[in-house]
Structure 1
Amino acid sequence: MFALAVGLLALRFLPALPSTGWLLAMPMLALMLLPFRTYPLAFFLLGLSWACLSAQWALDDRLSPSLDGQTRWLEGRVIGLPQQADGVVRFELADSRSRKDKLPKRIRVTWHGGPSVHSGERWRLVVTLKRPSGLLNGHGFDYEAWLLAQRIGATGSIKDGQRLAPARHALRDAIRQRLLTVDAQGREAGLAALVLGDGSGLATQDWRTLQDTGTVHLLVISGQHIGLLAGLIYGLVAGLARYGCWPGRLPWLPWACGLAFGAALGYGVLAGFQVPVQRACVMVGLVLLWRLRFRHLGIWWPLLLALNGVLILEPLASLQPGFWLSFAAVAVLILVFSGRLGPWKPWQAWTRAQWLIAIGLFPVLLILGLPISLSGPLANLFAVPWISLVVLPLALLGTASLPLPFIGEGLLWLAGGALDWLFRGLDLLAQRLPAWTPAEVPIGYWLVSLLGAVLLLLPKGVPFRLLGWPMLLLAVFPPRESVPHGQVDVLQLDVGQGLAILLRTRNHTLLYDAGPRFGEFDLGARVVLPALRKSGVTGLDVMLLSHADADHAGGAAAIARGLPIKRVVGGETDGLPAFLSVQPCISGEQWEWDGVTFELWQWPDATNGNQKSCVLLVQAKGERLLLTGDIDRDAERALLATSLAVHTDWLQAPHHGSQSSSSWPFLQQLAPTAVLISRGRGNAFGHPHPQVIARYQALGSTIYDSAEQGALRLQLGTFQPPVAARSQRRFWRAPPAQSGVTKDRVPAT
């Protein structure tokens, strides 16, 4: 069983899937090995072959490259729970079909300004289709992997549509709509998350509070909720039987086990049956089965069987961080509560369990690149019993009682009030101890910290147990690799249709632009700030905002709230938050950091925001990098009359490669060796323009495109090519293109 689990989990780490020949050969080889009793190798091969075959089916179901960016009429059935926020409706379609083209089985679509959509409805839609893709920034959230784990073969934007058939048998959606209409003291969305596992209605601030306090698991249905419900049903039947209230003709134990498992399974299906719920249902089922047969259950068997059960049903589950956190948390609890010479008192078991879970999950959160809650152990001490014993029973009982006038609504009102009080307390805690995003740790240091965490989880008296503390802290304070004198570490982040470039010398840090923000979608908070912290940045010497457009300066406020900044410089001072205290860009200003020179320029005759972009020239050991913001051809013409108009090794493409920029005289004068393009895939502006790409190609410039290659890191001063995030091969990612743009070449004009 352990070998089978290792084979199933190995899929997560494959750079590429085996060929068809190997996919056929591996299960045959495994069956041939079984008669020779080489069970571990045989079951490892069986697990690996099944996982690879399942993954290949998911990859084959992706949208054809020929349809990428095309607009098609299609029909499909709405599945899951549609999400609606800020005038945008998001939902998934199943059984999609088009008259002429083969489409993936599942498509995730977005409808700006669309009507209300309900699960189970059938729609005919005009959709601009896209192949699965997402931002790629090292340890950031891998949206492409998430889409594959959900077996979503395409995404799309809806232009128009009409409803063909109403919803049928959409119980989850009907319950959600009812929950959102009751008066729950402003916490209707939180109750929907508890009852149905639907957190789409929670506000951004609520999610931030849950993340900062390590209590996200309480508002998404997990094993705790499933086990609690099963335990309540089992205890109810056992109590009735003990006091003679259970029908004598019905044996109480089989009924208690059956009803408990039925309740757990029903609640799991109602909640969407995600990975933590699957794991909990399997483990509850095993415990009840062993109880029914009056047998003692081993310590690790339920976890191992649940792991294999989940992965056999869905091998791609290992691509999701929640899978690893769910099983790791249960493994930590098993390790903590087993092998002890004497039982802990109840209060000791509860308090120690919280701290030991925090220690045990620390290496897991670290390797997954997730924030680590410093207040989590304290928050969970009161949040877990409050949710388990007060809020959740009231919410479930209130939901079940909704058909009864006033009773169900009254219970939900009480549940909402209890949940609101919890959030008030968590908000206070989060303000004082926000989540910590640690810097990236080399794999060797992480392995030592993992061993240290395991040592600390062992019982007292184990030799060298206290050595776990310095081993664990090695990941908290790892030795930092400093940038060599005279060089610059340059990181162009993948922020979609926007710009954010981090420049680090040996002792100083500069951020050029802060990424986009559109409404509540703030990539400064979601991508740029976590990336800075992952890079070990604890403060900025300068944040230079080329101009005030939202795609360049939208994330500045979030970064300023998250990191100390000594100086903010902007091509525009209007249109930026007042608390930033923006200093104007002064042409000709120069300074030197650690043997690297920096120089600013701005066109004095600029009449609009793009023309006012503050340009930065960086020189390290004779290698030049020119960051241009969104200047147009008029500003480029003015720049040609300055000292910056010299051969440039690295040019940040002006205005994301717009046709209004990158003029031929400008490029001829600078003759860039390489060009950095930061843009969103399939953006509405058509960036980069084919004619601009043709000009770069005519000059022989190498093109590096964030939409195709993800984040890019280069060492200015070494004259070496950059490293693209997509060059770290994973089987679900397409390899980076040699040239970042695949458009047909157009004659340079």
Structure 2
Amino acid sequence: MMRLNVLLGMCYNVTLYPKSNRILLGWISALATVVVWPALAPLPVLVVGVPALWLLRRFPISFGFAAGLLYGQFWCHHLSGTDHPIPLGKMVVVAKLNSAPNSDELYQRNHWLVESVNDQTLPWYVSKTVELSWHRPPPLQLGQTYRLEVKLKPPSGVVNLGGFNRYRHLLSRHVVASGYVRRGELLRLQAHWRGELLQRLAAATALLPQGDMIRTLVLADDRSVTDERWQQMRKAGLIHLLAISGLHLSIMAGAVFTGLNWIRRYFFADARGHGLALVWLATAMAAIGYGWLAGMELPTLRATVAVVFTLLLLWVRRQARPWELLLRVAALVLLVQPLASMAAGFWLSFGAVSAILLFAWWCPRPTTRLRQLGWFFRLQIVLTLLMCLLQGVWFGTYSFHGVWTNILLLPYFSLLVLPLCLLLSLSYFIGLPSSWLQLADWLLWPIAEVAQFAAELTVGFGFLASSMVWPLCLLALAIAVAFYQLVAQWRLCSGVLLMSALMWWRLPVPQWQLDVIDVGQGLALLITHQQQVLLYDTGAGFPSGFSYAKNAIYPLMQQRGIAQVDTLVISHGDNDHAGGMGWLKEQVPIDLHIGHGGDRCQQGPSQWGQLTLSWFQAEADGNDGSCVLLIESATHRLLLSGDIEKDGEQAWLAATRDSKVDVLIAPHHGSNTSSSAAFVARTAPTHVVFAAGRNNRWGFPKSEVIQRYRQLGSTLWTSGQQGQIQFNFHGSGEILVETYRRNWFPWWYNQQ
């Protein structure tokens, strides 16, 4: 309890810290919250706010917070405002390839550094990174310069619970536009030196079972890492070992410093410490070199800046308190990359260091070796639990297995695997036979085996739904406090236990639920009722291997803790409805498959728990042959219409007596060939959902269709605008609607 009082006292007396520390604390607080800002202030307000900083000069924390807020908001406007750094539309650009291409893929998406637009050189101060897709490109190499005819638009992406927020990811990497290449002409043949290393290492490790992991650890080349490998590492809680971050750079810097300092002390002993400066300098250069090998993209740059600046502070101010070092490093990282907090790596890196410092302060390191081992074991448990929590909050799911796998493998990885993989690879680059890389493959074999074993464990569920993260974390905290101070502080323990119990309280559970998943210009609907799951369509799939089933539907299922699909309905065979069917059937157990590729869409009603399913399919080909499904409860009616057009609508109306519905998934994404006046009038929906991608090329939903529904007073929703849309149907007759952008994550970048 004494330490808790001291900690609270430190927080209360924060004004006693030196002025510079207080300014940095405010600066970090402002820029670390960029990921949850509700809106951006207008530029005129920000301009006026700059001289207003003078009024806060006597309040260091407020001054630092205001300065960070203004600095971050200016950057956000620069990257995402209406006045784009790079013009949008059809352009001719000269650009350099800035990311390693997948030479064996027909459809490539890479980052390019734009030098000029329509023969006009861009100013030095604007962000120049764009993401371009290119179908059937010529052989590309990192560093080549092309003249490209492109069509550019603002970057965007689908947003769903548990899924990947592509727009936030692009903003964190300062990507200001995306688009596709119409045609290109090679201007300069000179390739980047790193591209040559990528090719050499790929050829040398092509036949090694863990060759993909070697390339990822040494050169951040994850192009050949299979989906199976990613799944295994994620389920084992070891995914952070493959993503080069501050952990890898710190391990490498620690190994270099330890080795060089031992050589200095053993061979060049000097009581005055001569030569120590060279050791620090060589360590910093090694960290920078590793960052260059890894491509020095923004996440790697952030980690490199943090490690090098930490080395500098440790050398210059060896007596500085650790938390002050952390404060200065975080402030510098946010100065160099003001949107760094929009990336998970920022929180994982600084969260890990903060946890280590807090644990070391709370439980000082003992002096005896045996107790030091126990201290390290406890530190590893605390650190792993915190990383699991951060991953759960950030990604929506986390792995139970991460606790034991990290305790088992992290010391082995830190002390042996990473240093030797780097040493062997660098030796190969300067002339060592490629056969020596077999040793690196053997070193990585235990990690691959543990990941596979953890992924195949059938006891329990590998991932925990994010809705359970906070209750279980508070429960774990309560157990820890009770275990630590059960006798002396029973009041505190009982209070924490009560808080944990309250977190299990839930709002009234809906009788059934519909999730309209944001899959761009396509359709995917998830209906849950009494622990049963019905999936209607799967969105599109592409030859590149990308599919919305893998990148949107499956993550949502993991986030919800759904392990199987009871009924899969594929309305018809168009790619935007059935493209992910093959991948999904390989990955997820499916009891019943109805529609395209499965059993015939039956006519008439069937019972599904307390709901009635009414099936209909017209005797037609194409869109009008879609499998139409009407779901009814005692109080609500939901119509899933697929892509039927006017003829299909008339056939359904003729076969249905009571056609009025509460929620309608608009036919054919809101095209002019559907939602006829008769269909709209007969269904008279309270809510209408258009499954249409943001800024799609067809202009769906069409304005005429929108007007027909508005004349009836229907509430309109578009998945491309709102993101994932959730309808909660309650037995009382109430329908509660929540959306990703408005209710769950109403942050500024989700409102752009």
Give your verdict on TM over 0.5: yes
2:281 corresponds to 1:268: no
The 5-angstrom pairing of residues 656-671 of structure 1 reads 656-658=669-671, 660-671=673-684
Q: Corresponding residue for 2:78?
A: 57
Asked whether the equivalents of residues 539 and 564 of structure 1 are also in contact (C-alpha less than 8 Å), the reply is yes
User: Could you list the per-position Cα deviations for residues 122-177 of structure 1 after superposition, in whole angstroms to 9, with x for gaps in the alignment?
Assistant: 11112222211110124532111111111111111112111111236x23223222
Amino acid at match of 2:615: L
Q: Corresponding residue for 2:386?
A: 360
Asked whether the equivalents of residues 89 and 111 of structure 1 are also in contact (C-alpha less than 8 Å), the reply is yes
Distance 1:89 1:462, change over 3 A: farther
Distance 1:321 1:277, change over 3 A: same
1:215 CA drift (Å): 1.3
Q: Corresponding residue for 1:32?
A: 55
Amino acid at match of 1:360: L
The 5-angstrom pairing of residues 321-360 of structure 1 reads 321-340=344-363, 342-343=366-367, 345=371, 347-360=373-386
Q: Corresponding residue for 1:746?
A: none
In 1, distance between residues paired with 2:134 and 2:494?
A: 55
Q: Corresponding residue for 1:586?
A: 602
454-463 vs 56-65, greater mean Cα deviation: 454-463
In 2, distance between residues paired with 1:252 and 1:292?
A: 14
3-state SS, counterpart of residue 496 of structure 1 = coil
Counterpart pick for 2:198 among 176, 185, 208? 176
Distance 1:322 1:229, change over 3 A: closer
User: Could you list the per-position Cα deviations for residues 284-317 of structure 1 after superposition, in whole angstroms to 9, with x for gaps in the alignment?
Assistant: 6435643565x43423222222211111111101
1:683 CA drift (Å): 4.9
User: Could you list the per-position Cα deviations for residues 570-611 of structure 1 after superposition, in whole angstroms to 9, with x for gaps in the alignment?
Assistant: 123xx3xxxxxx5443211232644x44322222x2445x44
In 2, distance between residues paired with 1:140 and 1:281?
A: 29
Counterpart pick for 2:457 among 427, 432, 437? 432
In 2, distance between residues paired with 1:319 and 1:617?
A: 41
Distance 1:471 1:437, change over 3 A: farther
Q: Corresponding residue for 1:616?
A: 629
**Is there any run of 5+ residues in structure 2 with no aligned partner, and where?**
1-23
Amino acid at match of 1:496: G
In 1, distance between residues paired with 2:479 and 2:253?
A: 32
Asked whether the equivalents of residues 492 and 501 of structure 1 are also in contact (C-alpha less than 8 Å), the reply is yes
In 2, distance between residues paired with 1:619 and 1:514?
A: 22
3-state SS, counterpart of residue 669 of structure 2 = helix
Q: Corresponding residue for 1:41?
A: 62
1:71 CA drift (Å): 3.3
Amino acid at match of 1:425: V
Amino acid at match of 2:68: G
Identify the structure with the greater helix proportion: 2
Q: Corresponding residue for 2:242?
A: 219
1:734 CA drift (Å): 3.2
Distance 1:353 1:165, change over 3 A: same
Counterpart pick for 1:193 among 200, 216, 223? 216
3-state SS, counterpart of residue 156 of structure 1 = strand
Asked whether the equivalents of residues 624 and 716 of structure 1 are also in contact (C-alpha less than 8 Å), the reply is no
Counterpart pick for 2:109 among 78, 90, 102? 90
3-state SS, counterpart of residue 372 of structure 1 = strand
The 5-angstrom pairing of residues 702-741 of structure 1 reads 702-716=715-729, 718=733, 722-728=737-743, 729-734=746-751
Asked whether the equivalents of residues 504 and 510 of structure 1 are also in contact (C-alpha less than 8 Å), the reply is yes
2:235 corresponds to 1:209: no
Amino acid at match of 2:66: L
Q: Corresponding residue for 1:742?
A: none
In 2, distance between residues paired with 1:400 and 1:33?
A: 52
Q: Corresponding residue for 1:309?
A: 332
Q: Corresponding residue for 2:149?
A: 126
Distance 1:469 1:220, change over 3 A: farther
Asked whether the equivalents of residues 61 and 104 of structure 1 are also in contact (C-alpha less than 8 Å), the reply is no
The 5-angstrom pairing of residues 241-280 of structure 1 reads 241-244=264-267, 251-271=274-294, 272=296, 274-275=298-299, 278-279=302-303
Asked whether the equivalents of residues 569 and 585 of structure 1 are also in contact (C-alpha less than 8 Å), the reply is no
Asked whether the equivalents of residues 329 and 360 of structure 1 are also in contact (C-alpha less than 8 Å), the reply is yes
18-27 vs 313-322, greater mean Cα deviation: 18-27
User: Could you list the per-position Cα deviations for residues 614-653 of structure 1 after superposition, in whole angstroms to 9, with x for gaps in the alignment?
Assistant: 2111234554321012334443332121125623343212
In 2, distance between residues paired with 1:104 and 1:307?
A: 22
In 1, distance between residues paired with 2:484 and 2:540?
A: 47
Amino acid at match of 2:613: F
Asked whether the equivalents of residues 62 and 154 of structure 1 are also in contact (C-alpha less than 8 Å), the reply is no
Asked whether the equivalents of residues 466 and 560 of structure 2 are also in contact (C-alpha less than 8 Å), the reply is yes
Asked whether the equivalents of residues 541 and 575 of structure 2 are also in contact (C-alpha less than 8 Å), the reply is yes
In 2, distance between residues paired with 1:692 and 1:731?
A: 30
Amino acid at match of 2:726: R
Give RMSD over aligned pairs.
3.8
Counterpart pick for 2:639 among 610, 616, 626? 626
Distance 1:224 1:365, change over 3 A: closer
What's the TM-score once normalised by structure 2's chain length? 0.84
What's the TM-score once normalised by structure 1's chain length? 0.84
95-104 vs 107-116, greater mean Cα deviation: 95-104
3-state SS, counterpart of residue 498 of structure 1 = coil
In 2, distance between residues paired with 1:459 and 1:304?
A: 31
The 5-angstrom pairing of residues 6-17 of structure 1 reads 6-17=29-40
Number of matched residues? Answer: 713
Asked whether the equivalents of residues 367 and 446 of structure 1 are also in contact (C-alpha less than 8 Å), the reply is no
The 5-angstrom pairing of residues 403-442 of structure 1 reads 403-405=429-431, 407-432=432-457, 436-441=462-467
